Structure 1
Amino acid sequence: MTLRETFAANLRRYRKAVGLSQEELAHRAQIDRTYVSSLERCQYAATLDVIEKLAVELGIDPAELLAGAEVDELSA
């Protein structure tokens, strides 16, 4: 899995976990809703500034959006 794919999967997972729509997350992070959709579909690569904005609104550390699968998850 590429870093862009990992970011996209983590973004979608964390967004859904906190119960936000793409539109609501985009509004809170002050970015366009279509951009959030494009990030989740791996069409665009996010800048560090955007990663930080999204992480703040999701209540997580920015590194969590880039973190790969845990070793235990891979062996399951």
Structure 2
Amino acid sequence: MSAEDVYNRISVLRAERGVSRKDLAAALGVHYQTIGYLERGEYSPSLFLALRISEYFEVPLEVVFSLKPFPRLGSEVK
């Protein structure tokens, strides 16, 4: 990982809402493979795309994206 990595919870948000990569891509006007690249951290979104993703899921931008890795699910419960 490099100093410019952007971490995200797109796959978690999709799973919670039952949204496929293709459905999310169609709603955002991008190719479905772009969603996969984003989820794997192989591609950092433009600010415009990041804002559209957070708007789609109706959550603040920092819920979807972070400059630091997100804690593993359940680790904050300990």
Q: Which has the higher strand share?
A: 2
Deviating above 4 A after TM superposition, structure 1's stretches of 4 or more consecutive aligned residues are none
Alignment TM-score, normalising by the size of structure 1: 0.76
Cα RMSD over matched residues? 2.5
1:51 maps to 50
Alignment of structure 1 residues 17-56 onto 2, 5 Å: 17-56=16-55
Cα distance in 1 for partners of 2:12, 2:77 equals: 20
Q: Which runs of 5+ in 2 are unaligned?
A: none
Report the Cα offset of residue 69 of structure 1.
Answer: 2.9
Q: State the percentage of identical aligned residues.
A: 15
Alignment TM-score, normalising by the size of structure 2: 0.74
Cα distance in 2 for partners of 1:48, 1:42 equals: 15
Cα distance in 2 for partners of 1:56, 1:74 equals: 25
Cα distance in 2 for partners of 1:13, 1:73 equals: 15
Q: Which has the higher helix share?
A: 1
How many correspondences in the alignment? Answer: 72
The one-letter code of the counterpart of 2:49 is V
Cα distance in 1 for partners of 2:52, 2:19 equals: 15
Cα distance in 2 for partners of 1:56, 1:32 equals: 18
